[in-house]
Amino acid sequence: MRPGASSSTVSVIITTYNRAAVLRATIESVLAQSHPAVEILVVDDGSTDDTAATVSNYGSRVRYVRQENQGVEVARRKGLRASTGRYVNFLDDDDLMVPHKIARQAEILDSSNRFGVVHCGYRYIDKNGHVLGQSGRLPEGDMLKPLVWGCPPWSGGPLIRRECFDGYGEDEHLDWYSDWGMWLRITRAGYRWACVQETLGDYRIVSGSMIDNRIPNAERLIFHLLREVFEGWHLPPEIVAEKNDIHAGWHFWISCRYYTVGSWGDARRSLIKALEHRPVLLAQPEKLVNLLYWDAVSPRARVHDPIGFIRDVFDHLPSEARAIEEFRGLLLGRVYRTLALCNYGSGNMEEGRRQLGEAVRQAPGLFTNPADFAGQLASFVQSMPGQVSEGFVDSILQGLPPKAVSLRLSRLKLLAAVNAALAFKAYATGCRSLVPRHILKAVLRDPRWVGNRGAMAVLVKSLPALVSR
């Protein structure tokens, strides 16, 4: 054991149901942890496939716990009772940890009692392990407000002190053992969160997942917990003041989930509720259009056919939302343009060019505004793992459809936007020594970045990291 290393036992609880085909990779990612004391429990929620045989191949290195099929929340509670570690990490049966994940997080918990939970950055991957994107900068400290608004942690990310569960009893409602319920409950108890912003795991996004198959249950859970939070908890005034917007956001999210599975009546019902809670979406329909765009292209939203999703939404709008009809072409164009960037990023140039052509056909005006294109390009760069070279921008410009070739005149501005995006990304993930180089490149290509307060702020804050190298 290296000097100063933690020997605190960590219990990794993997809940599973009929996923033997993917479970092996998940277990092996935990066995590969550099942390010296890891206890692995697989809680089988009544599988009828080869799960038991798969786990038995690992012998005493993995403990197998079985129950009759009762759901993931019951399985988590059973795993928690059976585990012995000082720290606990729940993990879905198709997600992966990088080898130093637990070590990095346990070091923080060992060194300070200020935190009850340490979560981390993560990547989104598809069923084949291809990277779809990565998390941005994640919140930490007092997590109550971020958690009431949404659920930013990856379910397998948080490493939790066992005492965070001391208030849980056998009579605790099972909703509090869902990802979101658990994080809310722990935060309400006064525990603060730390975050390792670097990528420490892979969150797998696949069709036919639990959320796709249990949307009514997800809706019930969300609004049951929200009701308890707003009616039974003493909340800060700023959260109480945002109650309608928070409910609107969750109703919108549920509406989109119903649209993805073709449940049109439920989708319309939920969208109407979102509009009732947040009327500004009717008064300024472009805000609703923007929400639909982000739901279509965000990996975490689990929209596996973004173009089909947008068409389905517009084909089955409630009458209350007809004001956005005129934006159909523009929204399809934006989504096609984003898909094109994804294909360029993965080296699929031919499909990228085809989708850019579709984007022009749906919304020609998208390519007459270099600033808009630069903004989307910057957002894409920040969402993808790794570095993006200037050659990436040139490959896009060389493959532009005829009606969009005027963008080539804005090459320097596009390169500047990409370098600025890389600077913000490096700052958010803790790679601050890279920030000055990217800011310098941005300024050299477009001097207007000198006047950008955000860019100059991250530059100044990153200079000490450059000096200490």
Q: Which domains does the chain have, with CATH numbers?
A: 10-205 (3.90.550.10), 207-326 (no CATH)
Confidence check: pLDDT of 391 > 50: yes
Question: Which of 3, 12, 113 lies closest to 61 in space, CA to CA?
Answer: 12
- Quote the pLDDT of residue 209: 53
Matching residue, tokens 């100059």: 456
Of 95-99, 242-246, 401-405, 463-467, the one with minimum mean pLDDT is 463-467
Range with the largest mean pLDDT of 95-109, 118-132, 203-217 = 95-109
Determine which of 129-138, 184-193, 211-220, 430-439 has the lowest per-residue pLDDT on average. Answer: 211-220
CA dist 297 and 212 (Å) reads: 17
Q: Which position has the higher pLDDT, 213 or 98?
A: 98
Cα→Cα distances 12→57, 169, 467, Å: 18, 21, 39
Q: How many CB atoms lie within 10 A of CB 468?
A: 8
Residue 326: how many other CB atoms lie within 10 Å: 10
Q: Which pTM value belongs to this model?
A: 0.89
pLDDT, position 365: 87
Long-range contacts (CB closer than 8 Å, 24 or more residues apart) made by 261-269:
261/212, 261/215, 262/312, 263/215, 264/316, 266/215, 266/216, 267/313, 267/316, 268/316, 268/317, 268/318
pLDDT band at 3 (very low <50, low <70, confident <90, very high): very low
Contacts of 352 (CB under 8 A, 6+ apart): 340, 341, 342, 343, 344, 396, 399
Q: Is 297 exposed, middle or buried (0-12, 13-18, 19+ CB in 10 A)?
A: buried
User: Which band of pLDDT confidence, cut at 50, 70 and 90, is reported for residue 5?
Assistant: very low
Q: How far apart are CA 41 and CA 287, in angstroms?
A: 45
11: part of which helix (H) or strand (E)?
Answer: strand 10-16
Res 368 pLDDT > 80: yes
Percentage, residues of the chain above pLDDT 90? 70
Residue range 49-64, pLDDT digits in tens: 999 999 999 999 999 9
Neighbours of 208 (CB within 10 A): 8
Average pLDDT, the chain: 91
* Contact between residue 158 and residue 89 where contact means Cβ atoms under 8 Å apart: yes
Q: Tell me if residue 119 falls in helix, strand or coil.
A: strand
What tens digit of pLDDT does each residue of 132-182 get? 888 888 999 999 999 999 988 999 999 999 999 987 766 667 787 789 999
Q: What is the pLDDT of residue 170?
A: 63
Detail the DSSP E strand segments found in 18-140: 38-44, 62-66, 87-92, 96-97, 115-125, 131-134
What is the reported pLDDT for 244? 97
pLDDT of res. 122: 95
Torsion region of 386: left, alpha or beta (phi above 0 gives left; psi -120 to 50 gives alpha): left
Among the residue ranges 72-76, 228-232, 257-261, 398-402, the one predicted with the least confidence is 398-402
Output the pLDDT for position 1: 35
Residue with tokens 């969150």: 203
Question: Is the confidence at residue 212, as pLDDT, over 70?
Answer: no
Average pLDDT over residues 66-77: 93
pLDDT digits (tens, 9 = 90+) for 290-324: 999 999 998 887 888 999 999 999 999 999 999 99
Residue 4, pLDDT score: 40
pLDDT band at 6 (very low <50, low <70, confident <90, very high): low
Q: Do the strands 38-44 and 10-16 form a parallel or antiparallel pair, or are they unpaired?
A: parallel
